[in-house]
Structure 1
Amino acid sequence: MKYKLKIIIGSTRPTRKGPIVARWFEEIARQHTNFDVEVLDLKEIDLPFMDEPEHPRLQQYTHAHTKQWSKTIDEGDAFVMVTPEYNYGYPATLKNALDFLVKEWQEKPMGFVSYGGVSGGTRAVQDLKLPVTTLGMMPLPQAVSIPFFTQFINDKNVFEGNEALINSANLMLDKLTDWASALKQMREKGNEK
């Protein structure tokens, strides 16, 4: 069985490197035969700051962008956020994307690919785990943390991960498969009630 994996690029800055890092991870994810992979770029999706009049738990969406975001996230079985670290945290665009919805995220696993300086984005991931858990998702402890990430970007602006990064990506994807399977069964069992 194939699971729908959505890779979310969190940074929207004009000079961002998120798409470069995401492309590298996407190539590894596509080698895992358990996933149908889709990349969601928050810069292209361009969600406004939450503008729905009703609480998202009610799913009474009035705007086309929210309805599309709801459909896209609802059909996903697993997620990976590609995030930089900004001032010990993650981009506001990621928080906004999470807060637009509630039920669509529930009982699904979330992995993380983070990049930054000395910490490799680990503080951003640690911060993300609180809202992800609150939304009823399973944040994986296995992650890809890329310290001093610019050293892996070649002169053609392509990210080239070393063996340690590739191994951590594969380990996370293996665990993501396990959790996607378990949580999909749990969701299906819940729908039968």
Structure 2
Amino acid sequence: MMKIGIIVGSVREGRNGSAVGKWMYDFAISRKEEDVEYELVDLKDYNLPFLGGPATEEQMAAVGAWLGKIASFDGYVFVAPEYNRSVGGAFKNALDYLDGEIRNKAVGYVGYGGLGGSFAIQSLRGINAERSLASVRTMVSFSLMTDFEDFSVFKPAPYHEVNANAMLDEVILWSKAFKTIRKVS
């Protein structure tokens, strides 16, 4: 069984990320693949301290839970908001905790923002390459201007399903291939 984590990377109050993540999760499970299991993971559920800063016992437990959850997947879909033409700070901080948990795995991207999250995705591609997390080519980009009513009510156009299908196909294919590498190493 291939396990793919759909990770919502925003923790802001009033965020659009939970709606985008739920749409991606619902779309993924609607494909009814027999050998693939999807799980929606919300970064907001993990009270991670800033990497390298002081942490409470509760936060250290959250770090352990975050590492364990991420390690349990064979591949990922990162749902990334675009803040100031880059990935959000909380998501970057969460990714900085990861190392072996994500090595030799595949990731696809769902971005959203004023420019469809393109700058956030581009930032993540570089960050993840450094960690040996392989980014697939196809991405899904939602614009705040066209896919959200009043910039907050998520109403994606149906044509996004084409890229969502292609991106998931790539993540699954690459995840299966990388799984064979991880068994050897």
What CA distance in whole angstroms lies between the structure 2 residues aligned with 1:158 and 1:169?
20
| Sequence identity (%) | 34
Residue 78 of structure 2, aligned match among 54, 76, 81: 81
CA displacement 1:125-170 (0-9 Å, x = unmatched): 0011111111111011110011235x43469x76343232011101
Question: Which AA in structure 2 matches 1:14?
Answer: E
Which structure shows the bigger proportion of residues in strand conformation? 2
Where do 1:172-183 residues align within 5 Å? 172-183=167-178
Gaps of at least 5 residues in structure 1 are 54-61
Match of 1:57 in 2: none
Indicate whether 1:161 and 2:156 are aligned: yes
Q: How many residues align?
A: 178
Q: Does 1:139 align with 2:135?
A: yes
The alignment partner of 2:132 has SS state of coil
CA RMSD of aligned residues (A): 2.1
Preserved contact between residue 24 and residue 160 of structure 1 (Cα < 8 Å): no
Q: What CA distance in whole angstroms lies between the structure 1 residues aligned with 2:52 and 2:61? A: 11
Does 1:30 pair with 2:29? yes
Counterpart amino acid of residue 101 in structure 2: E
TM-score by length of 1: 0.85
- Alignment match, 1:110: 107
Q: Distance in 2 between matches of 1:31 and 1:6?
A: 15
Residue matched to 2:42: 41
* Segment drifting more, 63-72 vs 179-188: 63-72
Q: CA contact under 8 A between 2:5 and 2:39: conserved in structure 1?
A: yes
The CA deviation at 1:66 is 2.1
Alpha-carbon distance, 1:50 to partner: 1.6
Structure 2 unmatched ranges of 5 or more: none
Which TM-score applies when normalising by structure 2? Answer: 0.88
